[in-house]
Amino acid sequence: MRNFTSVKDFASVEEALAKAIAVKKNPFADQALGKNRTLLMIFFNSSLRTRLSTQKAAMNLGMNVIVLDVNQGAWKLETERGVIMNSDKSEHLLEAIPVMGCYCDIIGVRSFAGLTDRESDYNEVILNQFIKYSGRPVFSMESATRHPLQTLADLITIEEYKKTAKPKVVLTWAPHPKALPQAVANSFAEWMNETDYEFVITHPKGYELAPQFVGKAKVEYDQDKALAGADFVYAKNWSAYNEADYGKVLNMDRSWTVTTEKMALTNNAYFMHCLPVRRNMIVSDDVIESPQSIVIPEAANREYSAQTVIKELLLGL
């Protein structure tokens, strides 16, 4: 594998899953593979899980790890070419990226959608510059449009908990006070569409995701109907994708919060969320604390999704 930015970088979801399960079974089998190799993790945005799980994954592979929070201690970076740099930005990404590449073998990048310019976000301008100018394999630790390490962990978790071969999986929008990217929802939909699960997306009108991510999924605007018979409820907030409202919070309708009453409509479903989650906006205390909540094992699987991907990148060096 040369870079990892989406499900397309694996031959299939089945292949990704099989590799991840093997890694989880014996996480220290490849300690020699990463010896004297360095992973550089670049964060343009905050993180708890991605930061810890990816570092742990690299350590399991015997690697050295350097972490840089671009907004804390590094020079402020200009990202647009052609700008006269007479303001607060001291360095251009076009120098910073190849310099970063000098000190490592693999680069992980977290750069969220800016949510102001849809075209720039959906063209993955920042991530693609890392791929083009770093001279190193690059993997996404959540880019503008996708969060594939999260989705691979989600998939491992569903496979571990599912009670039927083809579970009904429902991705439901839920309210949140701040505008969030569509990346987690996009990525989840993109991978679910590659499985043989029954996959339904539910959200209020106006929150339609990009058609290339919705794919063949069933879209149901009535959350109660969508939840009927669900085996897994995957909650997430996202801001509007449509051109007129791009990046906006259209409503904070708490009738979409995942509560015990909502879960009662399901087939005793498991509750999932990528975290961080706002309680009593996205999900009630009772649901997230219930035995059906698998958010912690889901987060634990981030170690193995990261390790699977970094291992493939090491093998491709």
* Vertex 126 angle, CA 120 and 127, to 5°: 115
* Binds 183: which of ligand AN0, ligand CP, none (CB < 5-8 Å by kind): ligand AN0
Residue 85 sits in the site that holds ligand CP (CB under 6 A):
no
Q: From 298, 309, 300, 273, select the one nearest 20 (Cα to Cα).
A: 309
* Binds 48: which of ligand AN0, ligand CP, none (CB < 5-8 Å by kind): ligand CP
Residue 76 DSSP one-character state: P
275-294 residues near ligand AN0, rule: CB under 6 A: 276
The three-class DSSP label of residue 254 is: helix
Nearer to ligand CP, 210 or 275 (CB): 275
Residue 48 sits in the site that holds ligand CP (CB under 6 A):
yes
Q: Of the listed pieces 20-28, 177-185, 254-262, 308-316, which binds ligand AN0 according to CB under 6 A? A: 177-185
Gyration radius (Cα) of the chain, Å: 20
Residue 49 sits in the site that holds ligand CP (CB under 6 A):
yes
Residue 247 sits in the site that holds ligand AN0 (CB under 6 A):
no
Shortest gap between Cβ of 23 and ligand AN0 (angstroms)?
A: 21
- Cis omega (within 30 of 0) for bond into 276: yes
306 CB-contact burial (10 Å; exposed 0-12 / middle 13-18 / buried 19+): buried
Nearer to ligand AN0, 42 or 63 (CB): 42
Nearer to ligand AN0, 22 or 281 (CB): 281
Nearer to ligand CP, 16 or 274 (CB): 274
- H or E stretch including 227? helix 223-227
Among 150, 202, 266, 284, binds ligand CP (CB under 6 A): 150
Residue 83 sits in the site that holds ligand CP (CB under 6 A):
no
- H or E stretch including 65? strand 64-69
What is the rounded distance in angstroms from the CA atom of residue 86 to the CA atom of residue 42? 25
* Binds 182: which of ligand CP, ligand AN0, none (CB < 5-8 Å by kind): none
Residue 41 sits in the site that holds ligand AN0 (CB under 6 A):
no
Cβ neighbours of residue 232 closer than 8 Å, sequence gap 6 or more: 158, 161, 162, 167, 168, 169, 170, 269, 270, 272
Of the chain, the end-to-end C-alpha distance in Å amounts to 8
Residue 177 sits in the site that holds ligand AN0 (CB under 6 A):
no
Q: Contact positions toward ligand AN0, by CB under 6 A? A: 142, 180-181, 183-184, 274, 276
